[in-house]
Amino acid sequence: MSPVTPNDLNNTLRAHHPAALRLLSPLGLRSALPFGIPQQAAEASGCVRKATIGQITTGEGEPLGIPSLARHFPTLDPRDSLLYVPQYGMARLRTRWADHIRAPMSAPMSAPMSNPVVTTGITHAISICGELFTAADRPLIVPLPYWDNYDTIVTMRTEAPIRTFDFFDGPPAPKGERQPRFNVAGLRAILRTLTGPATLLLNFPANPTGYAPLADEVEGDDGIVAAILAHPHPLAVICDDAYEGLFFGDGMYGRSVFGALSAAADPERHLICKVDGATKELVFFGGRVGFLTFSADGAAGEALAEKAAALIRSTVSNGCAPSQAAVLDALDSPTLAQEQQQVMDVLQHRYTALKSSLDAYDLRYYPFNAGCFCLLPLAEGMDAEHLRHRLIREQSVGVIQVPQVNALRVAFCSIEAEDIPDLVQRIARILRP
């Protein structure tokens, strides 16, 4: 096996996905897996005596597990729980997650799609995209407000400036009046200002707004998909689908925009990246199992997956085996859908309780229909950080300040439905004294 060089991968992309090549940062251009120990070990996998990789095993490759530790994974094959997984992640899990993405609610069968690369949580998948595509002269475009960790994940590491447009097309209106919608005009306007390679990040259901677009905000000539596909310059689009599936409102598009975008993206101009994972979809926050999937199949998809795997090799080497094995097992469970529905029912109940309590106390809120949060705008002159402290001190309520739009974020996903009226009453004492 001869080593694949960064140039080989870049030439593959030049031939099969020119947009991806034009979008790569200097680090992205340099990324390739070296012909190192895992590759040499894989080549020798059929040998009688395998003296390659530094794992402590029997001659047959069974881990010499320490019982005090191994006993915590009684239902997993010790080879799956105690040994290294490949840089790309467990092979069976990658295929299984691809099926999960292809399921009717997510990506149409016609959309080109790489085999997902398993990452150490969704944050890690975003970080890899940041490293592959952003740089000081390659901005990240996000709707405002946005999850503030994007600053840390992307800008702190790659120096890419974050450029924003307003998430909503107006302020929250009193009940009964037209409520703001996703600001497609703002998206079009900011895209018009770009002339070189850039990255757009869309997070639906969104943190911190708790909003996912309605069908007519995504589809049609005036929708999000058309706005992106019309962009004439190289654009990477990251679909941050961390909260995929948590849809509560009416008239919603109700699935990731990755499918529609990747089905129609022009490989001369656009590369669509999907980041998602077990964190919220399988309520496995501590497991750190995320995925990164590109809108490219065949050789281009493999080249991009290798670039991602090279960044994994250069940071954490490879992911967490027992977590990946547990997620694979859960995906194959015949009762999974029913168990997920039970969680959804709990969240739907909390969502409904929160909406009616906010209305009952006449508190203003941005439209929210999905995910885990709602966002309460503050009147002019009210300071989010000051009010957050007062809520802790005077009402024993913890919320998160969102200074980007002077608002407070309430995570209804962690409050029992019966406690929500009390939560809102306490908030109202401070916001509407």
Ligand X SMILES: Cc1ncc(COP(=O)(O)O)c(C=O)c1O
Cα dihedral sign for 8, 10, 13, 15? negative
Cβ 348 to ligand X, closest distance in Å?
19
Which lies closer to ligand X via its Cβ, residue 90 or residue 370?
370
Alpha helices (runs of H) in 154-230, residue ranges in sequence order: 156-158, 184-192, 215-218, 224-229
Contact string 92-121 vs ligand X (x = CB under 6 A) = -----------------------------x
- The tokens describing 8, both together, are 């080989």
Instruction: Choose, by CB under 6 A, the member of 122, 154, 271, 321 that binds ligand X.
Output: 122
Which lies closer to ligand X via its Cβ, residue 203 or residue 318?
203
Cβ 279 to ligand X, closest distance in Å?
3
- The tokens describing 196, both together, are 């070189």
Check: CB of residue 277 under 8 Å from CB of residue 313.
no
* DSSP letter for each residue of 295-361: S--HHHHHHHHHHHHHHHHTTTSS--HHHHHHHHHHHT-TTHHHHHHHHHHHHHHHHHHHHHHHHHT
**Binding of residue 319 to ligand X (CB under 6 A):** no
What per-residue string of b and e applies to 142-166 under the rule 16 or more CB within 10 Å gives b? bbbbbbeebeebbbeebebebeebb
**Binding of residue 123 to ligand X (CB under 6 A):** yes
Which lies closer to ligand X via its Cβ, residue 217 or residue 240?
240
- The tokens describing 1, both together, are 């096996």
Cβ 419 to ligand X, closest distance in Å?
22
Contact string 267-296 vs ligand X (x = CB under 6 A) = ----------x-x----------x------
Query: Parallel, antiparallel, or unpaired: how do β-strands 140-144 and 198-203 relate?
Result: parallel
Total residues contacting ligand X by CB under 6 A comes to 11
**Binding of residue 262 to ligand X (CB under 6 A):** no
Contact string 206-245 vs ligand X (x = CB under 6 A) = -x--------------------------------x-x---
Site for ligand X, rule CB under 6 A? 121-123, 147, 203, 207, 240, 242, 277, 279, 290
